[in-house]
Amino acid sequence: MNKRIVRILIVLAIAQVVGWGTIGLPPVIGRQIAAALDMDIVAVFAGTSVHYVAMGLCAPALGRVFIRFGARRVMIAGTLAAIPGYMLLALSNGPVSYFAAWVVLGAAGSATLSTASYIMLNEVVGRDARTAIGALMLVTGLSSSIFWPTTAFLSQLAGWRTACLVYAAAMGLVCLPLYVFGLPRQSWTEEVRAGPRGREKSETPVARSTFYLMVAAGSLNAFITLGFSSVLIELLKALGLPPAEAIGFGSVLGVLQVGARGIDFLGGGKWDAITTGIVAGVALPLAMLLLLTAPRQQLWSVAVFILLYGLSSGALAVARATMPLVFYDGPAYAMAVSRISLPLNLISALSPPILASVLTRIGVDALLALAIACSCGALGILVVLSRRRPRCNM
């Protein structure tokens, strides 16, 4: 990557870490918010679900806005919208204002978080953005590791409301200048005229069924990987592990997921997102099958499960983010990823409570069987997609 791309990546990495890290409030200070607003802790955690739903609902409408104005302007506008969102959260005095704040933050997030950054990189690099997106995901995977302790420190020092106001200031003093001064004044109007690789008008249009297959594969895998991450510790406890061991195994998960992203990044252009998805898609049901059939309370089986699940879920996150680049480029890519954001964000909101309900009400075996069925279904769809690759990507 040349120096210009590296500079853009640094800008996006810092802003994305701040953007994702600052919305991770409920896991850290949820009980403080619940006490202050006289709300149930479950309702407080539902704020994150409202955030994802708002992001998903706003994303398709933003597709044409990205095309018309470019990612830089949209991200600037989204950052300006996030500032009152955090201020409203800090001033909330009950459920209505609390959830309204998350709606505002979700709408702002649809213009600033992951999808927007991927579109920005595609504007600049084209289909070669896959490596750049992989590099960005390596860094953004650390957002909770940085901001969970930061949120805990700020809330202990001055209260959770002050922490929200500090994050409003971070939007204006950190993210906004980065987007204004650090990103190129570039749009697809200029890029399409220049005609870089992969943007020729003679490209064969992508079949609508291919888009729906991508959505189905990504949604099935996201349903399992995102949901399992939220119930993993409770799952391990249900298998008979003591709480300390369950937490210990769970804490390794993030490292493995970032490691898988690193392996994919080091691979560069040697394979595409569909290949990554197929390899990881084989490992995911194997991990579930191992846990389903192995003797319970055997640490070796839990360790192998964590290894396979951690690596596969991390790799699948990269595959979901970069798979549209196999089929789309330029404005078509912006429209595709914006539309894909709707089901993926809805899955992000719904999968944790659904899988938690299956685990607590039906049991471990039912949860693992559901995971195997969904991951095998996604694997089959990815195999079909592999046969639909454009010739230039094979």
* Contact yes or no for 114/129 (Cβ under 8 A): no
* Contact yes or no for 388/224 (Cβ under 8 A): no
**CA nearest to 371, candidates 294, 287, 273:** 287
Q: Which CATH class is domain 3-194?
A: mainly alpha
CA distances from 376 to 53, 146, 283, 289, 371 (A): 26, 34, 10, 11, 8
Helical segments of 23-175, H only: 26-37, 41-69, 71-91, 95-112, 114-125, 129-140, 143-158, 160-170
Residue 235 pLDDT exceeds 60: yes
Do 3-194 and 208-389 show the same overall fold?
yes
pLDDT recorded at residue 193: 40
Most confident of 30-39, 52-61, 66-75, 80-89: 80-89
pLDDT tens digits for range 244-295: 777 677 666 666 767 766 766 666 557 778 888 898 889 889 988 888 887 7
Domain boundaries, the chain: 3-194, 208-389
pTM: 0.79
pLDDT recorded at residue 305: 83
pLDDT recorded at residue 334: 84
Please provide the CATH number assigned to the domain covering 208-389.
Answer: 1.20.1250.20
pLDDT tier, 359 (very low <50, low <70, confident <90, very high otherwise): confident
| Residue keyed to tokens 């997030």 | 109
* Contact yes or no for 26/45 (Cβ under 8 A): yes
Residue 191 pLDDT exceeds 50: no
Tokens of 212: 């729906």
pLDDT tens digits for range 77-91: 999 999 999 999 999
Tokens of 154: 């700020």
Q: What is the DSSP letter of 268?
A: T
Most confident of 118-122, 190-194, 247-251, 301-305: 118-122
Give the span between the Cα atoms of 341 and 333, in whole angstroms: 12
Give the span between the Cα atoms of 120 and 72, in whole angstroms: 7
pLDDT tens digits for range 298-339: 777 788 888 888 888 888 888 888 888 888 877 888 888 888
pLDDT tens digits for range 128-164: 777 788 788 877 777 777 777 888 888 888 889 999 9
pLDDT recorded at residue 362: 87
pLDDT recorded at residue 88: 95
pLDDT recorded at residue 389: 78
